[in-house]
Amino acid sequence: MTEAPSPRTKVRRGAERADYEHDTINAILDSAMIAHVGVQTADGPLVLPMAFGRDDTNLYLHGALANHLIASGTGQQICVTVSHVDGLVMARTPFHNSMNYRSVVIRGEAARIEEPSEQLRALKIITDHVVTNWDLGRPVSEKDRKLTRVISVPLAEASAKIRSGDPIDDEEDMAGPWWAGVIPVSTVLGEPRTAADYSGDRPVPDSFTAHPG
């Protein structure tokens, strides 16, 4: 898809960095752990970081029944953003400093998932998105499920924006003595640490260590 799916997801500033391809958007989502979710509440706008997961058509979020953001967003238009910082772009003047990044913006109406089997499916998607472990612990009880609210947001209105490469400086500064370049930034998961009160004899699950560096 080379065109924005809707006027409100069209990237206007820095439009040359926009990408509306589903594969690009999904790749950015799949490599992120946290989404920032924005809703309009009775007390004003609210944005919170949340775990999430996706399938081919929807993004899923969850929280306790008392979760203010999830409750306020249900049935309303919400905005979900995901971002990665890949590098600090240091120009010859601070005015042109920037960041290399990959980001996604999703806009749509949040719908509560009511059917128990669909709710559990969505919770599994969210859980395994972070690290595969849904089937490795105690099964989710009916009490657990009833205490949890799960919502879906369509991926139909999504856009990506990506910056990569070196600083872009003014021509008159190019011959100056000031250093310019990129400081790479990455997130790396460390080795799992067994809980001090763990009394079992099972090894660390392979999925907890077989993560990308």
Domains and CATH numbers, the chain: 7-166+204-209 (2.30.110.10)
Report the pLDDT value the prediction gives residue 207, as an integer from 0 to 100: 85
Q: What is the Cα gyration radius of the chain? A: 21
Helix (H, G, I), strand (E, B) or coil at 207: helix
pLDDT per residue as tens, the chain (213 positions): 578 999 999 999 989 999 999 999 999 999 999 999 999 998 899 999 999 999 999 999 999 988 888 988 899 999 999 999 999 999 999 999 999 999 999 999 999 999 999 999 999 999 999 889 999 999 999 999 999 999 999 999 999 999 999 999 999 999 999 999 999 999 888 889 999 999 999 999 888 876 544
Report how far residue 127's alpha carbon sits from residue 139's, in angstroms, rounded to the nearest whole number.
12
| Residue 53 CA, distance from chain mean position | 8
Q: What are phi and psi of 109, to 5 degrees?
A: -85, 130
pLDDT for 1: 52
Q: Pairing state of beta strands 148-154 and 111-112?
A: antiparallel
- Whether the CB-CB separation of 59 and 26 falls below 8 Å is answered with no
Instruction: Please check whether residue 209 is in contact with residue 194, taking contact to mean a CB–CB distance below 8 angstroms.
Output: no
Residue 190, number of CB atoms within 10 A of its CB: 6
Per-residue pLDDT at 213: 40
What's the CA gap between 186 and 124, in Å, rounded?
27
Q: Where are the alpha helices (DSSP H) in 84-213?
A: 116-130, 142-146, 206-209
What is the model's pLDDT at position 212?
47
Residue holding tokens 């067994």? 194
Residue 211 neighbours by CB under 8 Å, 6+ apart: 131, 189
pTM of the entire predicted model? 0.91
Cα gap 54→82, rounded to integer Å = 13
Among the residues of 93-182, which ranges form H helices?
116-130, 142-146
